[in-house]
């Protein structure tokens, strides 16, 4: 067992959205696997889930990422 807990590092003024607690945090309080960020402002972090949904939708509709459509053209 470690004597000292390794603290996550971050810069003052960085904001994160914690996926585990579903809240905005200043500085990385939670492990990296449980958060989005860093964001420059609290408002950006508050909209992290909305931003992720928008980016996922863009990715899902990007024709460069759909191998099935490309494969159908080759047949």
CA atoms of 56 and 16, how far apart (whole Å): 19
* Tokens coding 63: 């024709």
Q: What is the structure's pLDDT at 24?
A: 96
CA atoms of 33 and 30, how far apart (whole Å): 8
Per-residue pLDDT of the chain (75 residues; tens, 9 = 90+): 556 555 556 677 899 999 999 999 998 889 999 999 999 999 999 999 999 999 999 999 988 877 665 455 544
Full-model pTM: 0.68
Q: What is the structure's pLDDT at 29?
A: 85
């Amino acid at each position: 067992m470690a004597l000292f807990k390794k603290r996550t590092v971050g810069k003052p003024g960085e904001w994160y959205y914690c996926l585990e607690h579903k809240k905005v945090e200043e500085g990385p309080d939670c492990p990296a696997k449980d958060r989005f960020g860093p964001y420059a402002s609290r408002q950006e972090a508050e909209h992290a889930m909305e931003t992720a949904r928008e980016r996922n939708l863009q990715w899902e509709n990007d024709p460069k990422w759909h191998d099935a459509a490309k494969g159908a053209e080759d047949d």
